[in-house]
Amino acid sequence: MKSTAVLLAAGQGTRMKSNLPKVLHPVAGKPMIGHALRAARQATTETPIVVVGHGAEEVTRYLGGAAQTVVQNPPLGTGHAVMQAEALLKGKADLVVVCYADMPLLRGETLQRLVETQQKNRGALSLLTVMAENPRGFGRVIRGADGALQAIVEEYVATPEQLRVKELNVGGYCFDGVWLWDALRRIPQNPQKGEYYLTDIVEIAVRDGLAVQATLMDDLEETIGVNTRVHLSEVETALRRRINQAHMLDGVTLIDPAATYIEADVTIGRDTVIYPNTFLRGATEIGAGNQIGPNTIIRDSKIGDRCKILASDLEGATLENDVEVGPFARLRKGAHLGDHVHMGNFGEVKDSRLRAGVKMGHFSYIGNAQIGANTNIGAGTITCNFDGERKHPTEIGEDVFIGSDTMLVAPLKLGDGARTGAGAVVTKDVAEDTLAVGMPARAIRKLERRKKKS
């Protein structure tokens, strides 16, 4: 049975008071429509359709190939919005799921239950409802004396008796894909606002003698829609709590979950410990047995196993296993630290690879460099990689010792076993097993390579 989701994302979102389309405001590091899209794809079999309007170009650009888009213009209500998908879906979908793109907490599992309800329903549609004391502006679900669902009444037109109803319409629907399109044309135009409301389709189904079923939700947080930045903060808090709980249940220790910020696409291995005030963002992958934080920010980076990262900032970096970083280190895009690398405080690495066993002292900058295994980078070392117009590479071999405050003026090569004296300004290549000192540095003698203790 083919099922397709239609996400409604055409609203202007004026109460957000923003130049950014409402559905592109991020929640846990991802635009809220991204969360809605993930849930929709989990519950249906076909590529979703997104109805766009305000900010259509920006929303379509974000979606890329993840969904088809149709434009609602002019905006004439939710029923009219669903009509825009008819050309793409009529005769092609057995079931049509409709929900809002500004409900980022709605789970795919919940939509799956809704679909399952409609699969068992011989009637026209099924919808999501919730029992709540605070109606949050939702329409009331009106039932007959026999308990059958009869109508949805919007809050602004509800009678005092109807306002006392605790069962609320959440805004998620699953329709029979054959019945839907004719029924949409029978929705009356609202005389007060001149729009066509999707909620009126319930009464049309009842007049057709077709049963309307409800899937009662038990998690009130899932129902929160975003209309203001206050709502945005509510869903951010709720989703962060959900994400953190999932990681803890998977074997990750969060010392203080309320002070730990993990975005939706981050993965973490078991027995990793996350200390407070840590932010894990973007497509970050963290292995097992690590200690991260406190006061650490990691973005779009890959961390191996058993690493220790203290009070540092990483973006676009790769750490292999047993790496120690910080405190107050910065790893920028392209930084790659091999097994057992130690990077001290106030160091910075960009577009460089430090191979296994490298020790990088504090107050050092390494950029556009390749550094061989077991090399020692003394405190205050700088690769002078930029000449004002272009960046140049530095190549350092294995078992090299770079003295404190050495300036390495690229392009430059230092052979295996080379050494520099403290304060050297190296402007020419240094052969392997050679000591260079001075400013500018000069080679003064060959060295006997020290053998590593086994």
- Quote the longest CA-to-CA distance of the chain: 101
Token pair, residue 40, equals 């929709």
**25: exposed, middle or buried (C-beta count within 10 Å: 0-12, 13-18, 19+)?**
buried
CA distances from 101 to 70, 189, 227 (A): 14, 24, 11
- The one-letter amino acid code at 369 reads A
Which stretch of DSSP H or E encloses residue 75? none
Give CA–CA dist 97/111, Å, rounded.
8
Which residues have a catalytic role annotated?
A: 362
Q: For 26-74, give the DSSP string.
A: EETTEEHHHHHHHHHHHH-SS--EEEEBTBHHHHHHHHGGGSEEEE--S
Q: For 151-178, give the DSSP string.
A: EEE-GGG--HHHHT--EEEEEEEEEETT
For the chain, give me the number of helices (H) and strands (E)? 9, 42
Give CA–CA dist 454/448, Å, rounded.
18
Give CA–CA dist 379/59, Å, rounded.
48
Give CA–CA dist 161/152, Å, rounded.
14
